[in-house]
Amino acid sequence: MIKIRICSDLEECRHLWQQYWPVESLFDLWPVRACFQEAFNHTPFFLVAERNGNIQGLIALSRIEDEQYFGHFPGETWQGKTWLEQNKIVAADTHVYQALVQRLPEFTIIRYLTEDSLLPGEEAPVVDELGYLFFPGRYDYSFNRYQEQFSGKSRKKLGRELDKLKAFGLAYRHDCLEDIDHLFKMNLNAFHERSYFWDPRFLKSFENLVIWLHENRLLRVKTVILGGKVAAVDIGSVFGSAYTVLAGGAHSDFAGVAKLINFHHMEWASRQRLEVIDFLCGEFGWKKRFHLTPRPLYQLGKPVADVLLSSIPKSHTVPAHV
């Protein structure tokens, strides 16, 4: 018989996560989630499935008090919706999965679920948003070969745009922690309340995350300098063979600099022979044109939660690279 209990003790939740949660991406690491938990401080609400006293599955939720619903742990919100991607439902088998889902509380919405967290054969899943990936190996790790995917006309147009920027005098700087302050300032100056750094809790979460990634040698900071001025800064992380671009900021004086830094990410990842770059969700007018591979992430929740959240904007990633 499957029993479902609720765990709201943060230390026990940590133990459960670290023992039973599959680590497949950066977002599966407990310390990454803990950076956001510390800043938002929502009450954990883990559904724990047990059979004969053995743990068989987990749904990791948080009670998001300010929005009055349950979302995936740690319940970090931007414009009312959770932000961290590649969420999961962990279940040993179909029966455990169904038992867990049946115990979801009212007003639940779980975003950004991976495809393998869905039950095969059920009704068509709800696509939440599309993530966008770049696979250097598909082009034999050759950035030049990747560029051949663009039409001749597009290559010429892009070349003119980039040459115009390079005329200022182009330099790159790597892993300079002081540049992260430029990122925050440029993003806030460009997007004001539409930037998730507008929320002091989200800003604190990213400050926590940057510190932890740096201390564990997982942080990557990419800076574009044009004419001696910081023009764009992105932060990301390499975990295993995957490079995740987490956030960015660009100076309004340099139109098109986002293309320059995104190409730089892709060229660098090709040289490093990484398996994939994850540019996260949100298309923002460039990811399709750059021939990135879309990956759907899914949504699961009580119907009442869908109604509750239907009026909240669907945008996700900070639109630093429009």
pTM: 0.90
pLDDT tens string 199-253: 999 999 999 999 999 999 999 999 999 999 999 999 999 999 999 999 999 999 9
Tell me the percentage of the chain whose pLDDT exceeds 70: 92
Is the separation of the CB atoms in 49 and 12 below 8 Å?
no
Using one digit for the tens of pLDDT, what is the confidence trace for 272-317? 999 999 999 988 788 999 999 999 999 998 653 343 334 334 333 3
User: For 141-183, how does the pLDDT look when each residue is reduced to its tens digit (9 = 90+)?
Assistant: 999 999 999 999 999 999 999 999 999 999 999 999 999 999 9
Handedness of CA 230, 236, 238, 242 (dihedral sign): negative
Q: What is the spatial distance between Cα 225 and Cα 257, in angstroms, rounded to a whole number?
A: 10
Closest by Cα among 187, 172, 136 to 260: 172
Q: What integer pLDDT is reported at residue 318 of this predicted model? A: 34
pLDDT for residue 175:
96
